[in-house]
Amino acid sequence: MEKSIQDSIHGVIKLDGWMVKIIDTPQFQRLRRVKQLGFADLVYPGANHTRFEHSLGVMHIARVLKDRLELDDVVLVAALLHDIGHAPFSHSSERLLEEYAGFKHENISRVIKGELKDVLNELGFSISEIEGIVTGKRTSVVNGEIDADRMDYLVRDSHYTGVAYGVFDIYRLIDKIKFEEAVVIQQGGIKAAESLLISRFLMYPTVYFHHVCRIARKMYERAMERIIQTGFDASNLLEMDDIDAMMLIKEREREFYGRIINRNLFKRAVYVSKRVVNFREVMRVNEKRAETEIAEEAGVDEKYVIVDIPPVEEMRESGVMVETDEGLKTLDEVSPLVKALKTASIENWRLGVYTTKEYLERVGKAAMNYFGIEKVVQKSLDEIFP
């Protein structure tokens, strides 16, 4: 029996009966209790949307693409389930799972079990084929340079945070996409693709890598890591939601639990761009070792020092193929704007060292010595990104 869901981004989303069977499993319903943006609500109070609604949105976009590109229903299943492997607070648990459970959230075959596995078998869908689409090995519609996933999350995250940067013309872009072994953008879609890249470029420093979001994420990560190191099986995170995770931290890391829920977060002792440090050397630094050495020099407990060396976010979208009069070329080849954005995106990177308010001066000085920083002038984000 077909059902309809009123979505805040796409309007009415139609669900076929077989989709409802998948959505109604406990494994999929868990996504209602996993926030899309982790701790971003500490900065943007409206950012309480979940992986559940995002998954429905990705399926909706994938269905529009499916009809245009004449793809099979398995693409829709992959779109629905592409985030089924996310643990509590989404990407905030990602490093923990990779390091302590050898798991990446795209490897969904490991979490498809119980009722969800039974329903997929009943419907005749291959779990290995679904995983191949989710990982991008079989088609780029769900996971590619420009895919249904990012088309939904940029607009959805912009809507719920109240940040206008994520808005671009999804349906113009979809209308100018075709499939030739991979997604190809027709010439008339170049401006829509450029708009997506601009949205991505602005959303990362403003939302995804906002310093408060990073601090809360790293505090959660460090608290959970200490719990894991005392015997907790990290793979259990795959069956937990945000509430479960916070209750675990409340039980075993009560101080950090109180700090996170009351927004009594660590502060920035050091927060600098790649221009201030030896970037190549910093990217090879082990965060935990750096925390130990900085804490020793500052004379504080190691748990009150957090070193945050974020990965450099690659603009995969710039490599999508575009139709031109001279044949297929990558988007950054045909668009000077995209080429400039790709170069400029690394300027959004920041090295952070965080600690409690009372240790700011001591930890800041030790961290500057450790990373060879001669002078740090702290700036607000408004000054960094005017």
- Convert the pLDDT of each residue in 121-166 to its tens digit: 999 999 999 999 999 888 778 998 889 999 999 999 999 999 988 7
Point out the least confidently predicted range of 52-66, 90-104, 180-194, 242-256: 180-194
Torsion sign, CA atoms 160, 308, 199, 35: negative
Q: Could you tell me the two tokens for 128?
A: 């290995």
State the Rg of the chain over Cα. 22
Among 51, 62, 48, residue whose Cα is nearest residue 10 = 62
Amino acid in position 130: I
In the predicted model, is pLDDT for residue 308 greater than 80?
yes
Domain residue ranges in the chain: 7-162+210-265, 266-312+349-386
DSSP tag of 89: T
Using left for φ > 0, alpha for ψ between -120 and 50, and beta otherwise, residue 8 falls in: alpha
Taking phi over 0 as left and psi of -120 to 50 as alpha, with beta for the rest, 257 belongs to alpha
Q: Which amino acid is at 176?
A: K
Residues near 85 by Cβ (< 8 Å), separated by ≥ 6? 103, 104, 105, 106, 107, 108, 110, 111, 238
* Cβ 335 vs Cβ 194: under 8 Å: yes
Written as one string, the DSSP assignment of 238-299 is GG--HHHHHHHHHHH-HHHHHHHHTT---EEEEEE-GGGS-HHHHTT--HHHHHHHHHHHHT
Given a cut of 70, whether residue 385 has pLDDT beyond it is no
| Residue in 49, 54, 82, 105 annotated catalytic | 105
Q: How is domain 7-162+210-265 classified at the architecture level of CATH? A: Orthogonal Bundle (1.10)
* Per-chain mean pLDDT for the chain: 93
Buried b (16+ CB within 10 A) or exposed e, 305-326: bbbbbbeebebebbbbbbbeee
Chain-centroid distance of CA 44 in Å reads: 16
Task: Specify whether the CB–CB gap between 90 and 51 falls below 8 A.
Answer: yes
pTM attached to this predicted model? 0.92
- For residue 355, pLDDT beyond 70: yes
Phi, psi torsion values for 306, nearest 5 degrees: -125, 125
Write the pLDDT tens digit of every residue in 78-121.
Answer: 999 999 999 999 999 999 999 999 999 999 999 999 999 999 99
Residue 285 has pLDDT above 80, yes or no: yes
- Grade residue 379 by pLDDT with cuts at 50, 70 and 90: low
Q: How many CB atoms lie within 10 A of CB 361?
A: 11
Q: Is the pLDDT of residue 386 over 70?
A: no
pLDDT category at 384 given cuts 50, 70, 90 is very low
Residue 266: is its pLDDT beyond 50? Answer: yes
pLDDT at 7 over 60: yes
Judge whether 50 and 35 are in contact, CB under 8 Å: yes
Mean pLDDT throughout 250-264? 98
Is 10 labeled as catalytic in the residue annotation? no
In which order are the strands placed within the sheet that holds 327-330? 177-180, 182-185, 321-324, 327-330
What is the 3 state secondary structure string of 123-181?
HCCCHHHHHHHHCCCCCCCCCCCCCHHHHHHHHHHHHHHCCHHHCCCHHHHHHCEEEEC
pLDDT at 380 over 60: no
pLDDT over 70 (residue 237): yes
CB contact at 8 A, 60 and 115? no
Q: Are 318 and 330 in contact (CB under 8 A)?
A: yes
The fraction of the chain above a pLDDT of 70, given in percent, is 97
Question: What is the per-residue pLDDT for 316?
Answer: 83
According to the model, what pLDDT value does residue 375 have?
A: 65
- Paired residues of 330 in beta bridges: 321
Residue type, 340: A
More confident residue, 287 or 145: 287
Give the pLDDT confidence score for residue 140 in this predicted structure.
79
3-class secondary-structure state, position 71: coil
Is a pLDDT exceeding 70 seen at residue 376? no
**Antiparallel, parallel or unpaired: β 306-308 and 351-355:** antiparallel
pLDDT at 9 over 50: yes
